[in-house]
Amino acid sequence: MLALGKLLELTLAGREPAEKTQLTVDGVRMRWLGEGALEVRPPDARDNGLDLLLSAGIHGNETAPIELLDGLLHDIARGDLKPRARILFLFGNPEAIRRGERYLEQDVNRLFNGRHELSSGPEALRACELERLAATFFSVPDRTRLHYDLHTAIRGSKIEQFALYPFKEGREHSSHELARLEAAGMEAVLLQSKPSITFSAYTYEQLGAEAFTLELGKARPFGHNEQVNLAPLETRLKQIIQGNEPDLGEPRRLKQFRVAREVIKHSDAFRLHLPTDVENFSELPQGYLLAEDLAECRWIVEEEGARIIFPNPKVKNGLRAGILIVPA
């Protein structure tokens, strides 16, 4: 297997490869772009016009999707997987991956769409670098652009695998992409209704890609992901890479939700009135006092069929401590 196929091994060791460019026996070009970043380019005769960005490890302890991308790269380097798409593989936060921690100082996935310019430190620099790599990759005109940013969650979930679909004013969500998500094993999708500061929001809003954050189960250490079923996603990614996807109809079973409200933590006095082990997509009754903060700021559930996702009272002041969602 070509050495560049071992991008994860290089990243974990903090090493640069001796050769920055290598060719597989089928003429697929692999090019190292920097730490945790590798471009794969098929021969021109096989290129089908798709630019596919696959990112994982934006949070360093979310190992199942990192292992998935590592396996895809191994298959390409051995010649077992024959791409027809250009692909950019990104491991988002290398130092956090090496330490097995979610992040070092700041959550990288809250530093996109210009937020890194308001901050400092290694993760702000890394967010800027990821934006640059993505923008360069998606700069070729007249090509289809697709980005999957792969994650696992801090906590369990009533719906284990789901997607977040970013928002941009005047742009419609794609039923074709929703059907593709369902075929990849996603059980639900959250259709966002305002701009965001995540990586997938950046590539969707600024670079014109179809882009998604995929939540794939619960975060576990390397080598302990047997309970995370990535088989449907792996199969679909291989089909996308090889350009042999089966025809997609309309999504039939994919549950769709929309954001009702975001719960923002304003101060250290913030209190979230939920059990510490509450699962994503837990239902909340109308009238429930969800959270409180200074100046008699209170979040009371008014919406019918409301559920909570990403509850986290430990975020920094000014950031989102949870999302109230309802069926779309």
Dist. CA 265–CA 312, nearest whole Å: 9
Whether 62 has a binding-site annotation, put simply, is yes
DSSP state of 241: H
Q: Which amino acid is at 215?
A: E
Whether 224 has a binding-site annotation, put simply, is no
Contact 59, 48 (CB under 8 A): no
Placement of tokens 């809003």 in the chain: 205
Whether 173 has a binding-site annotation, put simply, is no
| Residues contacting residue 286 through CB under 8 Å, at least 6 positions apart | 301, 302, 303, 304, 306
Placement of tokens 């500061």 in the chain: 197
Contact 304, 294 (CB under 8 A): no
| Residues contacting residue 267 through CB under 8 Å, at least 6 positions apart | 293, 294, 317
Name the residues annotated as catalytic: 215
Placement of tokens 């309309």 in the chain: 250
Pairing type for strands 37-41 and 50-56 reads unpaired
CB atoms within 10 A of CB 106: 20
Give the helix/strand (H/E) hosting 307: strand 307-309
Pairing type for strands 188-191 and 297-300 reads unpaired
Q: Is 110 strand, coil or helix?
A: helix
